[in-house]
A and B are shown apart, each in its own frame.
Chain A
Amino acid sequence: MSEVVVRRQRSVASLLMMLLALALGASGYLLVHLNQDGALPPDWLMSVGPLQFSGPWYVGVGAWFALGLVAWGVTKWRLPYADPIILPLVFLLTGLGISMIHRLDQADSLRSAELQLLWLFAAVTAYCVVVVALRDHRRLQRYTYVWFLAGLALLLMPLLPVLGRENHGARIWIAVGPFSFQPSELAKIILAIAFAAYLVEKRDVLAMAGHRFLGIDLPRPRDLGPIGIAWGVALLILVFQRDLGTTLLFFGLFVMMLYTATERVGWAVLGLLLILVLGFVGYEMFDHVQTRFASWLHPFTDYDRNLQVISAQFGLAWGGLFGTGWGEGRPYLTPLAKNDFIAAALGEELGLVGFCAVVLLYGLIVARVLRTALAATEPFGKLLAAGVAFVFALQVFTIIGGVTRLLPLTGVTTPFVSQGGSSLIANYILAGVMLTITHQARRPQVAPTAEEYASLSADPTQALPAVAAPRPDPADFADGPSGATEGEAR
């Protein structure tokens, strides 16, 4: 008798993990004050323009728990078979981020953490909308080219004259009124959907055999169109937005999805070569890329210019193995500690042990989504899950590698952790898409009932008389394949 795999929903385990994640996030916030003043936080003050909300500290902690439980409840309601640990992992990272922002607030007496919690409210709302409205990721497959256009428009939006905003040499921001927004955050999700939908349709063509060179199957020259276009757009972003991070994220996503879809190493090799060309072009053309490379390789030659990288290094070193403890270090000495360098701040106060845990939390999210890609039964979900997991992993690798001086520093955000509303909202939307795929991949497939399949095997087999088969005439095959196979299902 045939069997089907049924996965448990793990509701209780998921809820307990969620509560532990929320408690860890909140205890970071409380420990900052306990360590610094020996007392609980004095007050909670949230100001949005003219409006002000204030109250004792447990208002903020209560709001944090409420947001987490609402997100968990909505997921349980709409996606009962979704992965049990992705949401707790996301909330733990968010909680560590908000606590660290709050800790840095103590040094510059701003109220960014409260604002970040307000953004989290918007992000959880966006997450719930995705979970409730989307439900089945296959509905996204229908609008391939609309997604393409939307993604490219978002990527190139910072080049518009009025909206675009240049920051630290890179033009990757748009500004509307008091809000600034990094559209590439949203574009990475939309482009992952577009690439997945496109490659599901076209992968057979792209996987066709080409030339074999040095043991690697290289694609045919005429199939180079899509990768050429993607490379051209990446070059466009590099030249006009001058940001190596976004360029690598976008082009790396495309190359990796192409490789996953076609299972051919040739595309990956070609993609890596093109990435090297992009890096070289960027290095030769732009001063600020050269600066970034110099501050990566020889930071200590120019103390003034590389202050940020150097002080992050000193912070990590000062943190040591177990860190200084919440609120006990001096991460505020690093410029932009709340967004670009929040990973260094966490490394200083939580130490190597805590820093590795944070990297592992990201790794677990990526592993769960890749596992879903393996388990998914239909190609679009498989590709989308793989693409989404990869772009998320690449982003984490780029920024944490940049902060720890494994790679040259680029200006991408640390997902879920760093300060900034647009990044938080975009990443919660990404989490919604991830959980939707996991729900579809993990729920029990309706077992085929005997009645419905019986008819398929009971279809009469036609017996064709073999005597009248005509001898094939070689002349018929001279001018290529004719329409002889028209009636067949192909």
Chain B
Amino acid sequence: MSELLVLALKFAFLGLLWVFILFCGNIIRTDLFGRRVPVADAEERPPAAAPRAAPSWRERRAAKSLPSTLRITQGQQQGLTMELGQALQIGRSTDCQLILDDDYVSTRHARIVRGERGYLVEDLGSTNGTYLNNERISTPVPFTPNDTLRIGRTLLVVEA
């Protein structure tokens, strides 16, 4: 190959390498702030935001069988899932199986225990209370996949 072509290819390669970096810079620049959208628009984005549709086969099956996992649907640890065993203690203390990083949660806040027909949730004398479907609970009550549990600012559901 001629010297001139070698030289041209060399500079073309180096040029493309720097073009790549400039493209990176441009993507970073347009990505800096993100787009601000009103809350109302953003709600429709994640598919998890619309739970109250007609019950699918999955939901119906889940209602029949015993739930097996606990999922955090909202809060600091959103998206976290955990296996439900015989009993599960929730709170901020390290001896809890589910440690919530939430200022409104007590050291030992609530407990989920396995009953004969499903799981029960029980408040352990917490300061801010434990709410099942927005009602404060005082006795152990059944916790089914149709219910939403609120502890502090964290929302939890059980699923099969």
Contacts and interface: CB of A to CB of B under 8 A. Distances in A.
Interface of A: 1-8, 10, 13, 17, 20-21, 24, 27-28, 31, 34-35, 38, 84-85, 88-89, 92, 136, 138-139, 201, 322-323, 325-326, 328, 350-351, 353-354, 357, 360-361, 364, 367-368, 377-379, 440, 443-449, 451-452, 455-456, 459, 487-490
A489 B104 contact: yes
Interface centre among B18, B24, B42 (most CB of A within 10 A): B24
B35 A5 contact: yes
A200 to B, nearest CB: 8
Interface string B1-25: 1000011011101101111110110
B17 A322 contact: no
Contacts of B107: 489-490
Contact of B46 (A89, A364, A444, A488): A444
By Cβ-Cβ distance, the 6 closest A-B pairs, closest first, are A325-B10, A5-B34, A38-B1, A489-B127, A447-B39, A489-B106
Nearest to A350: B14
B111 interface: no
B46 A3 contact: no
29 contacts: A3-B36, A4-B36, A4-B42, A5-B33, A10-B31, A20-B20, A24-B13, A34-B6, A84-B31, A88-B20, A136-B79, A139-B80, A325-B9, A351-B14, A353-B14, A353-B18, A354-B13, A357-B18, A377-B76, A440-B79, A444-B45, A447-B43, A452-B134, A452-B155, A459-B128, A487-B127, A489-B103, A489-B107, A490-B92
A93 B71 CA distance: 39
B27 A1 contact: no
A447 B27 contact: no
Contacts of B126: 489
A377 B78 CA distance: 11
Given A3-B36, A89-B24, A27 B103 contact: no
B37 interface: yes
A3 B27 contact: no
A33 to B, nearest CB: 10
A364 B21 contact: yes
B54 interface: no
B55 interface: no
Contact of B79 (A13, A92, A138, A490): A138
B91 to A, nearest CB: 9
Contacts of A92: 20
B27 A449 contact: no
A456 B153 contact: yes
A85 B43 contact: no
A92 B19 CA distance: 13
A360 B22 CA distance: 11
A459 B129 CA distance: 10
A136 to B, nearest CB: 5
Majority secondary structure of chain B interface residues (helix, strand, loop or mixed): mixed
B24 A446 contact: no
Interface residues of B, number: 60
B68 interface: no
B105 interface: yes
A323 B21 contact: no
A449 B94 CA distance: 31
B14 A354 contact: yes
Given A323-B10, A325-B10, A17 B77 contact: no
Contacts of B18: 353, 357
Interface string B112-131: 00000000000001111101
A39 to B, nearest CB: 9
A17 B42 contact: no
A138 to B, nearest CB: 6
Interface centre among B11, B18, B20, B35 (most CB of A within 10 A): B20
Contacts of B53: none
Contacts of A322: 10-11, 14
Given A17-B27, A84-B31, 17 more contacts: A4-B42, A8-B34, A17-B24, A38-B1, A88-B24, A138-B80, A139-B80, A201-B94, A322-B10, A323-B14, A325-B10, A350-B17, A361-B21, A446-B46, A451-B134, A455-B131, A487-B125
A447 B6 CA distance: 57
B29 to A, nearest CB: 12
Interface centre among B1, B14, B106 (most CB of A within 10 A): B14
B24 A34 contact: no
Nearest to A452: B155
Contact of A7 (B9, B31, B129, B153): B31
Given A139-B80, A446-B48, A489-B105, A6 B10 contact: no
A13 B10 contact: no
B9 A34 contact: yes
A173 to B, nearest CB: 33
B20 A21 contact: yes
Contacts of A3: 36-39
Contact of B13 (A10, A28, A38, A378): A28
Contacts of A6: 34-37, 42, 45
Contacts of A364: 21, 24, 28
Contacts of A360: 21
B40 to A, nearest CB: 7
B13 A326 contact: yes
A434 to B, nearest CB: 15
B36 A5 contact: yes
